[in-house]
Structure 1
Amino acid sequence: MKDIRRNLVDILVAEVKPALGCTEPVAVALACAKAKELLGEEIVKHNVLVSPNVYKNGMCVGIPGTERLGLKISVALGFIGGHSENGLRVLETLTTEEVKQAEEYIDNNPVSVSPAETKEKVYIEVNLKGATRTSKVVIRTKHDNFVYLESNGDVLLSEEPQVEVAVTTEKEVNILDTITIKELVENVEALDFKDIEFLLEGITMNQEIANYGLDQKVGIGVGYGIKKSMEQGLLGDDLLNNAMMITAAASDARMAGVKMPVMSSNGSGNHGITAILPIVAYNKKFPQTDEKLAKSLAISHLVTAYVKNFTGRLSAVCGCGVAASTGATAAMSWLMSGDIKQVEGAMEHIVASLSGMICDGAKSGCALKLASAASAAVQSAVIANQNCFVPQKNGIVGSNVEESIQNLGRVSDKGMSVTDEVIINVMDDMNKVK
């Protein structure tokens, strides 16, 4: 076995983190908080630029602690009460008074948030001007990755010139480019429990927000509606419906802006919900040891990262549908049998079924997509467990699972770039209608 255990643990530590609120507006608030700290005085003028994908994902989503939606309130929250040292939990320490001040700020001041002319998926630039000082902050590639910091003309951090070189170098040594799913699973099976025990925190965290969405109708109420339908006998109390219910309920609460953190995966809270909660549903029906559970979560998060490596961090397709659900189905299939052929087969079922699910931004409707993603994850694992597989070279399904994921990446990253532009334009046009 090719020993890449250390590499895999490093990926998990980097990509599985708590986050409060939808990651794109949170990242904008984080950048704004940092820029305000570097300015050190009252803001006279500001300009916030974000990549089209960040713009799309933050346009309609609920923000924790407030009834307001979108990026403008995120900007104000970052300016008024954000603390950049909290990273992606930047909104967690905001007081009720600070939220009120932020709401008053956007009611009384024009807030500038515009799409930047960039092909970067994750890019946020904040320029501030005070009475006597200026500041500039840039986040790139990952939602909490500061690459440029400037305070009153003094450059405190500048990684911009090395970005392209760094990306090229990373691609040459990135194990996700060349690893097989078999190698990934075998290495996870050989991991020390203590190295991945922290992943179990995601179960507690994401279950808590799911329970909130089940106890009361928030957002659309997808999870709540499934629960009520199960109680009325319209739906059965089975694995598939339970996975749909808790996954959707967590997204209902998160997209509504409920002030509770979730364990994210690969830069997205909804990815974390989808990668974790179907496994929780499986564990409730078929209890596992903590070590087996932690290793299944590791498979889920790492397969999610594997898919995202080819589709891109943000894209025209729903990452919960094509990436996190692939991770969840791989993990559940592994829990069911441990058979690598069934794990690979379950993953290819997702490629065959959900590859066309578009991403039209983070919003309350995401709970419906997460319900579909959770349902497909369970269904795909169950079918594979019966040794029923998609044939090779079937649509975009390739000769093996690795080729299938790479084909999905080509369709998502290259083939749907125009689709992404159209989605953003449609949303932007609707947003302008008063």
Structure 2
Amino acid sequence: MKTMDKRILLRALESEIERTTGCTDPGAVCLAVRAAAIELGVDPEKIVVTVSPNIYKNGINVGVPGTGMRGLHIAAGLGAVIKSTSSGLALLDAVDPADVERAVQLVNNGRVTITHAETTSALYIKAEVFSGAHYAHAVIRDDYTSIVEVGLDGKKVSSPRGMPVKTKHESLKGYTLEELFTSIDTMTVEELTFLRDAAEVNRKAAEAGLESGPCPLGKALYSGLAGAGVRHMAAARAQALTAAACEARMSGMQVPIIAIAGSGNHGIASFLGILAVAETLASPEEKLLKALAISSTVTVAIKEHSTKLSAFCGCAVAASTGVAAGTVYLLGGSYEEITHAMQSVIGTLAGMVCDGAKESCAFKLSSSVALAIQFGHLSLEDAYIKEGMGIVSQSIEKTFENLGRLNNPGMVTADKLMLQMISGH
């Protein structure tokens, strides 16, 4: 086993963990239009946005913070007029009511067009804005905040004005999971404190949803916590918190969420799942921080195989697998038992499809996290899906590769059919 420089993994985690407001798909559309509008230099009169089918699927029916509306049209309209000083996917942090009114006028007057088209990247957004004889464009590809191209009147410019440029990190594919976990073990509390801060941001979103949000699932699950036994308390608590935070986010509540690998729901699952287990076990702070790092690392590693947007539910398959790993670590299990728990999650949930972003994601997300925690406990009792059974391979790295193949080419046709179903509502 080779030694990994822990700074490589820390840079990857710091790059992949970021603050967002609202669902990242309409947020990224807003960001692309904003980048193009800044380049245009005046308020756009017309907006045309072309997105990949996956972006369309995830953005068509999800709430947009501060608007009381859903979908990509209002998100694009906001991008044309918003004056928020927040950057990246936190652009919708403090939407001004006057901006909402102007964005609604653009939409209602037929000035915003959204289309989807087959693209080489599952994550693709091209925003074009027009005013008089001038037009500007911006392109986001492969990553939600990766603005790879901007231009004015057909001429490309080197970098978007007034927009942060995201730095890329080294791929984790060149390392085994054991090497990654060994690297985490060498990290200090100070180096990992940002993960605790991230978890607390997501906890506050859950609390806001439970207190005043349209979160029937989260509230129902939370009210049933009384009477849960010690062993099942962590799973029950995690299920309630993740459901509430997800419902709050998907309904368009204006609450910040810390995302992992571009997904706020992944961040909700990973951070709140581990937080619930650690608090139930009264785990020391250092143990909690390293469990959060393990969960986040697994999530990022799986997404590198399946890409940021997948045909299967990433919360169930990527984030929940990370929660299972972190749970076993908190329980004092071995690396072998950690891999057993992860294999069980993937072997059970790999076929769960993604049918777009909306409040019902809370059912999938919360159930998967609770199941992952249960599988964490079961792995210590030698109950797990054995190697060579179905998608579960001889090594966890090979199972991750299988997930990538399952997503593409395996589920490409299913994903297209899902988009037709969603568009037909």
TM-score calculated relative to the size of structure 1:
0.91
Q: Secondary structure at the match of 1:306?
A: helix
CA displacement 1:167-208 (0-9 Å, x = unmatched): xxx9xx954223212111111011133222211111110000
- Conserved? CA contact 1:30–1:84, under 8 Å: no
Q: Matched residues, percent identical?
A: 33
Following TM superposition, the consecutive aligned residue runs of length 4 or more in structure 1 with deviations greater than 3 angstroms are: 82-85, 233-237
Give ranges in structure 1 of 5+ residues lacking alignment.
Answer: 160-169
CA displacement 1:288-342 (0-9 Å, x = unmatched): 2322222111111110011111112101100000000011111111111141011
Q: Secondary structure at the match of 1:18?
A: strand
- Conserved? CA contact 2:8–2:170, under 8 Å: no
- Conserved? CA contact 1:51–1:122, under 8 Å: yes
The answer to whether 1:106 aligns with 2:107 is yes
The change in CA–CA distance for 1:380 and 1:393 in structure 2 (over 3 A counts) is: same
One-letter amino acid of the counterpart of residue 87, structure 2: N
Question: 2: CA distance between counterparts of 1:329 and 1:102?
Answer: 43
Q: Could you tell me which residue of structure 2 aligns to residue 191 of structure 1?
A: 187
- Conserved? CA contact 1:226–1:235, under 8 Å: no
Question: 2: CA distance between counterparts of 1:53 and 1:82?
Answer: 28
- Conserved? CA contact 2:65–2:252, under 8 Å: yes
Shift, 1:238, TM fit: 1.4
Question: 2: CA distance between counterparts of 1:67 and 1:234?
Answer: 36
Q: Which stretch has the larger CA shift, 300-309 or 284-293?
A: 284-293
CA RMSD of aligned residues (A): 2.0
Q: Could you tell me which residue of structure 2 aligns to residue 292 of structure 1?
A: 287
- Conserved? CA contact 1:34–1:83, under 8 Å: no
1:202-213 matches, within 5 Å, as: 202-213=198-209
Q: Could you tell me which residue of structure 2 aligns to residue 306 of structure 1?
A: 301
Q: Secondary structure at the match of 1:125?
A: strand
- Conserved? CA contact 2:278–2:330, under 8 Å: no
In the alignment, which of 220, 223, 226 is matched to residue 221 of structure 2?
Answer: 226
Q: Secondary structure at the match of 1:392?
A: coil
Q: Secondary structure at the match of 1:13?
A: helix
Question: 2: CA distance between counterparts of 1:211 and 1:281?
Answer: 13
- Conserved? CA contact 1:60–1:69, under 8 Å: yes
Question: 1: CA distance between counterparts of 2:118 and 2:158?
Answer: 23
1:1-400 matches, within 5 Å, as: 1-83=2-84, 86-157=87-158, 175-219=171-215, 221-230=216-225, 238-400=233-395
The change in CA–CA distance for 1:402 and 1:96 in structure 2 (over 3 A counts) is: same
Question: 1: CA distance between counterparts of 2:84 and 2:51?
Answer: 20
Q: Secondary structure at the match of 1:308?
A: helix
Q: Secondary structure at the match of 2:393?
A: coil
The change in CA–CA distance for 1:101 and 1:175 in structure 2 (over 3 A counts) is: closer
CA displacement 1:376-424 (0-9 Å, x = unmatched): 2111111112222221101111112111221122112220011111101
The change in CA–CA distance for 1:257 and 1:357 in structure 2 (over 3 A counts) is: same
Shift, 1:230, TM fit: 3.5
- Conserved? CA contact 1:202–1:263, under 8 Å: yes
- Conserved? CA contact 1:239–1:378, under 8 Å: yes
CA displacement 1:34-55 (0-9 Å, x = unmatched): 1111111232332110111001
- Conserved? CA contact 2:32–2:127, under 8 Å: yes
Question: 1: CA distance between counterparts of 2:315 and 2:412?
Answer: 18
Q: Could you tell me which residue of structure 1 aligns to residue 404 of structure 2?
A: 409
Question: 2: CA distance between counterparts of 1:84 and 1:72?
Answer: 21
Q: Secondary structure at the match of 1:176?
A: coil
Q: Secondary structure at the match of 2:351?
A: coil
Shift, 1:367, TM fit: 0.6
Question: 1: CA distance between counterparts of 2:228 and 2:270?
Answer: 27
Shift, 1:137, TM fit: 0.4
CA displacement 1:73-127 (0-9 Å, x = unmatched): 1011111215486111111132122223322332233420100231311111011
- Conserved? CA contact 2:49–2:126, under 8 Å: yes
Number of equivalenced pairs:
416
TM-score calculated relative to the size of structure 2:
0.93
Question: 1: CA distance between counterparts of 2:233 and 2:192?
Answer: 29
Question: 2: CA distance between counterparts of 1:412 and 1:243?
Answer: 27
- Conserved? CA contact 1:247–1:370, under 8 Å: yes
One-letter amino acid of the counterpart of residue 139, structure 1: I
